[in-house]
Structure 1
Amino acid sequence: MSDPIHIVCPQCEAINRLAPARLSDNPVCGKCAQTLFNGKPLDVTSEQFNRHISRNDIPVLVDFWAEWCGPCKMMAPHYAQAAQRLEPQLRLLKVDTERAQDVSARFAIRSIPTLALFKGGREIARQAGAMDAGRIAAWVQSQL
């Protein structure tokens, strides 16, 4: 039996302990009873970003974007499709670089959209430019 992993609830942000084998069983939060994975990227604030990056034991994929960015808007539905493919093995977040300027500055985001992959609380890969869902999923899988 493998050690339990920690998963941050997308609704209440409680830290849940879960057996890795249960990831695919539609697990629910022990605090709010909401599903831990809904196949959609989470639009997060700076504080939520920090919690998800530091406390999730599964890899976290982050889309750094902005409302005014045309390529970001074009990629958004593809990123949502990628979430359906990649969850529950990954958590997918969206960080609006205008609202979370501290996070964008900390990770030196120079162009958007930029995808950054985090594992164990640190960035392990980065890719700038819009991609379709298949390319997003293939890129992530090539990095893990």
Structure 2
Amino acid sequence: MRDVRLATAPFDPHEEMRQFSQRCGDAGGIVSFTGLVREEAGSEVEGLELRHFEPLTLPGMTDLAARTEAHWPLTGTLVIHRVGVMKPGEPIVLVACAARHRRDAFEAADFLMDHLKSRAWFWKREKTADGWRWIEPREADHSDLARWNAVP
């Protein structure tokens, strides 16, 4: 079972996970990750915007999910990624992988997130009192991605 979506409005990660868990009743374990717009004390970030190139984004996300499923024996894959302007505290991304064995679910979710964070079809910028500024992937994001070089 594969569910890959772009969301243009806020979504409820708890409700999405409840529904995903019901559809993956034969799983031995489900691993999920929810990424949020940071709400840091003293932070000047007022918002985050994710832009994307529509003809490539959803097909690319779907292909990434298929690559993940080809490498790990999953019983379900869920990828929801927001686009547009978000406020601090709102969910940006939800990734969940269901498998008979926990290690497969953990590794598959990690693989998906590393690729979404570093090689995705999104451009990210944040708004502060000084205006908007573009955000590039950090060196750590590239290092995380490099761990998967042996995965087709």
Query: 1 or 2 for the larger relative contact order (CA 8 Å, sep ≥6)?
Result: 2
- TM-score bracket relative to the smaller structure: 0.3 to 0.5
- TM-score, length basis structure 2: 0.31
- TM-score, length basis structure 1: 0.32
